[in-house]
Amino acid sequence: MNRTFSSAPLPFMGQKRRYLKQFKQALNSFKDETLFIDLFGGSGLLAHTVKRERPDAQVIYNDFDDYHQRLLNADRTNNMLEHIRNIVKDCHKDKKLPNEIKNRVINYITKEEKKGFVDYITLSSSLLFSMNYSTTLQGFEKQTLYNCVRHSNYDVSGYLDGLMIVNYDYKELFNKYKHLDNVVFLVDPPYLSTEVGTYKNYWRLSDYLDVLNVLKNNSYVYFTSDKSSIVELCEWLEKNLEATNPFEGSIKYEMPVKVNHNAGYTDIMLYKPKYVSSVSGAVLFEEPMST
């Protein structure tokens, strides 16, 4: 369990690699022998980082997206990519594959699917245009394929060492452990009103607000963005309707993210140990980062 990853070893949308520095700092605010529960485990990067930074802690990784199954099949995926490299070896890098070559790739993937597990998300990063993902063979058949095939194998060894891996609806997992005093909930829900192929569910406003119940009277690290306006909404409800603001007393980091030269948004991380004072926490700004 010596190796520390700075990003998830297999492609995953939404991993928090840009926030690892701030996240590691936040971990020092929680007492020893703590139980950390990653309610929206995603790629497992947060859970992995906790276990490396805080070996004293127990860490539960809620793998609702079955990411660990992709890790278990990484050797098979590497073998598939090696075969695909050979198919596209005479094609121009980052260019559209000719129909003949695309058909050869599709035929090969079809044969492999009959043999067992196929990691379509990882294959997407090597065969589809940037940030595009397909999770089925039918999706690949409909897409334009490109020669973006990775040149080296993926190394996933040791990534989930020391973690307890579970698969629950986040509410069920929260209810199992909410009574404990030494628990910290890591809360990184899907973006509001987005439907991404690699996520299982569409998130509505009511779903996003339900997550706030996890924060009440608990220690947490919570991720959101200014696109959701959730922090602003809670401040308004506190001011105008005397509602409890779950972010009161939390410490906040804000990180501008550039999408292109004239568009962007702000990622937000808030954390709150139970012993933090009710005085509003600091707001720290980092350098803008491109997506």
Amino acid type, 190: P
pTM (global) more than 0.95 = no
The distance from CA 5 to its chain's CA centroid, rounded to whole angstroms, is: 14
Average pLDDT over residues 58-80: 96
- Which single residue is written with the structure tokens 């700075």? 6
**Could you read off the pLDDT of 243-265 as tens digits, one per residue?**
999 999 999 998 887 777 777 78
Chain region(s) in the chain for CATH 3.40.50.150:
17-66+167-290
The tokens of 174 are what? 């929260």
pLDDT above 70 covers a percentage of the chain that reads 88
Please tell me the least confidently modeled range out of 7-21, 89-103, 242-256.
7-21
Closest CA to 224 of 209, 239, 237, 236: 209
Mean pLDDT of 216-239: 89
pLDDT at 257: 78
Q: How far is CA 288 from CA 20, 21, 230, 265, 267, in A?
A: 15, 15, 21, 10, 10
For the chain, give the percent of residues with pLDDT over 90: 64
Entry field: residues in the chain: 291
Q: What is the pLDDT of residue 285?
A: 36
List, in order, residues 6 or more apart from 145 with CB less than 8 Å away.
96, 97, 101, 102, 105, 127, 128
How confident is residue 32, by pLDDT bands cut at 50, 70 and 90? confident
In this prediction, residue 274 carries a pLDDT of 72
Distance, in Å, from the CA atom of 248 to the CA atom of 230, rounded to the nearest integer, reads 13
User: Band of the pLDDT at 200, cuts 50, 70, 90?
Assistant: low
What CATH architecture does domain 17-66+167-290 belong to?
Answer: 3-Layer(aba) Sandwich (3.40)
pLDDT of residue 260: 73
Q: Is 44 left (phi over 0), alpha (psi -120 to 50) or beta?
A: left
As a whole number, mean pLDDT of residues 26-42 equals 91
Q: What is the pLDDT of residue 203?
A: 67
Q: Please name every residue paired with 254 in a beta bridge, in sequence order, or none if there are none.
A: 268, 285
Task: List pLDDT tens digits, range 269-282.
Answer: 999 987 543 333 44
pLDDT at 182 over 70: yes
